[in-house]
Structure 1
Amino acid sequence: MDFWGWVLVIVVAGLGIAIAQAIAVSNKKKAMEEELESLPDFSPTQKIMGNNGDTGLAIDEERKKVVLIKNGPTGVALKPITYRDVLSSEIFVDGETVTKTARGSQLGGALIGGLALGGVGAIIGGLSGKTRSSEKVKRVDLRITVNDTKSPLHDINFMDIEGKKDGIIYKSAMDEARHWHGLIAVLIKMADNEDARKEGDETPLQASGDITSSLADELSKLSDLRDKGVLSDEEFTIQKQRLLS
């Protein structure tokens, strides 16, 4: 076989692999859609299936519910939560946080820094210089942190192929990521506003009791996070001091 014959074989093989991957991702998204439709007491008003078909997200605005969707080896897993359990939303570009919204109250206000970035802070710092100077981008992800010590992070991919910052692929991915980041920011704001109204309605005696109970609960959750390895001993000490100050 001559040179051009081999070139043709390689091109055809590459196209075949690309088509097979596209079909696999499409099937994964379809499976997530079907599983979501079967979920009781949830009617999605907005939903997104990640670019790679591994994760997704849906919102029921009337019921004020959020569903985190994961597609793994054992099938599709759905985790319904209330909007009050959403602690933060971040957009990552090649591992660097470009924008972030977090709860201003509850456990989220005290833990969000360590919980969302503590495990990947070194990676983000190492990538930040390269990302700023590069005209190309490989990944765009949205990270949602929720009030769940067993599985606090939920990442949704919007782009996983290299593209230029002024290219249509990157711009489209960022537009969609910003849209969902904005939606989560609205939910976070609603939860913060409700907390503020409840605090305003409390009598001093009630507030004192609730604060004591809340503090004990948050310290217990901090200890649990440390025991599970989510927080290091140093991070635990820092967050504990913030709660007690």
Structure 2
Amino acid sequence: MDFWSWVLIVVAGVGIPIVQAIGVSNKKTTMEEKLKSLPDFSPTQKIMGNNGDTGLAIDENRKKVVLIKNGSSGVNLKPITYRDVLTSEIFVDGETITKTARGSQLGGALIGGLALGGVGAIIGGLSGKTKSSEKVKRVDLRITVNDTKSPLHDLNFMDFKGKKDGIVYKSAMEQARHWHGLVAVLIKTADNEDERQERIEPSSNVESSTQTSLADELSKLSDLRDKGVLSEEEFSTQKRKLLS
């Protein structure tokens, strides 16, 4: 192989990664611009995945989350509420290393509903064991949401081989843990809201039942008055007792 052939190989080896990096950068910019056009959403925190295919944004004031996907048909934005977020998992080379899931009764029912829809095996992840290899190729965050048609959203933080003690892997894991922690806070917030709702609903039911009983008693008194069993004075007296 002559000198110029070697030169072409070297140039190609350097140029291809640069072109790929520019392409990813452009995809991230496109997702950023699309997010700006979304009404009633002001992201307080956002991130675009390492490969430029997906992103995630949070509006803490409105309690909303936007799942971002960049596909062949363009950028798709999927706004959801905190309560639609069911689980969050960090994957390293396809293995779950940590997971947070909704713990309330309602949250558990939603997760169960997705499992019945045929995606339970996917939601469960893999074995949960970490690989002992010194090198890692991928680091991803997987979010499960309350949508039977598209329940999974994967956010990539690293997609090329690197050492576990290397800067790239450590940086990717730091970002993944940060966002996993944020989503875990959303899940906890939703659980707290569910618990408050569960405490409120019984008292609401009692109040509703009381109101129904009162209406029934008043109706019975009216019937007795109309039939002549009670005089108008007797009806008024009994009515005051019920309403007091």
TM range (shorter): 0.7 to 0.9
Q: Does 1:59 align with 2:81?
A: no
Matches within 5 A, 1:5-24: 5-24=4-23
Taking the TM superposition and a 5 Å limit, the aligned residue runs for 1:199-214 are 199-203=198-202, 206=205
Three-state SS of the structure 2 residue aligned to 1:42 is coil
Runs (5+) with no aligned partner, structure 2: 207-244
CA distance in 2, matches of 1:8, 1:107: 63
Instruction: Assess, with a 3 A threshold, how the Cα gap between structure 1 residues 158 and 18 changes in structure 2: closer, same or farther.
Output: same
- 1:116 and 1:86 map into 2 onto residues whose CA distance is 16
Once the 2 structures are TM-superposed, how far is the Cα of residue 148 of structure 1 from its aligned partner?
Answer: 0.4
Using the alignment, how far apart are the partners of 1:186 and 1:116 within structure 2? 24
Question: Aligned-pair distance for 1:116?
Answer: 6.7
In structure 2, what is the equivalent of residue 26 of structure 1?
25
- Distance of aligned partners of 1:106 and 1:71 in 2 relative to their CA distance in 1, 3 Å threshold: farther
Q: Structure 2 CA distance, aligned partners of 1:119 and 1:19?
A: 35
The 1:13/1:78 distance shift into structure 2, 3 A limit, reads same
Q: Which amino acid aligns with 2:170?
A: K
Three-state SS of the structure 2 residue aligned to 1:71 is strand
Give the conservation status (yes or no) of the 8 Å contact 2:123–2:144: no
Distance 1:24 1:186 in 2: 33
Cα shift readout 1:136-168 (whole Å, capped 9, x = no counterpart): 000000000000011000000000010000100
* Separation in structure 2 between the aligned mates of residue 15 and residue 194 of structure 1, nearest angstrom: 53
Query: How much is the aligned-residue C-alpha RMSD, in angstroms?
Result: 2.3
Can you list the C-alpha shifts for 1:178-208, whole angstroms capped at 9, x where unaligned?
A: 000000000100110111111112227839x
Structure 1 distance, partners of 2:107, 2:193, is: 15
SS of the residue aligned with 1:124? coil
Residue type of the alignment partner of 2:45: Q
Residue identity over aligned pairs, in percent, reads: 74
TM-score, length of structure 2 as denominator length: 0.77
Deviation at 1:106, TM superposition (A): 4.9
Are the structure 2 counterparts of residues 183 and 166 from structure 1 closer, same or farther at C-alpha, using a change threshold of 3 Å?
same
Shift of residue 19, structure 1, vs aligned partner: 1.1
State the 1:117 CA deviation: 5.8
The structure having more radius of gyration, on CA atoms, is: 2
Distance 1:43 1:116 in 2: 32
Instruction: State the one-letter code of the partner of 1:102.
Output: A
Out of 96, 100, 119, the position equivalent to 2:122 is 119
Map 1:1-245 → 2, pairs under 5 A: 2=2, 4-106=3-105, 108-110=107-109, 111=111, 114=115, 118-119=121-122, 124-125=126-127, 128=129, 132-203=131-202, 206=205
Write the deviation string for residues 13-57 of structure 1: whole angstroms up to 9, x where unpaired.
Answer: 011111111111011000000000010000000000000000000
Change (3 A) 1:195 1:120: closer
Structure 1 length as normaliser, TM-score? 0.76
Q: Deviations over 1:88-145 (max 9, x none)?
A: 1000000000000000125542436947761376x834x95xx522010000000000
Query: CA deviation digits over 1:70-95, x for unaligned, max 9?
Result: 00001000000001100010000000
8 Å contact from structure 1 (residues 85, 147) kept in 2: yes
- Distance between the aligned counterparts of 1:33 and 1:63, measured in 2? 19
Whichever residue aligns with residue 146 of structure 1, its letter is V
How far is the alpha carbon of 1:5 from its aligned partner?
A: 3.5
Aligned residues of 1:116 and 1:153 also touching (Cα < 8 A): no
**Structure 1: unaligned runs, 5 residues or longer:** 208-245
> How many residues get paired?
203
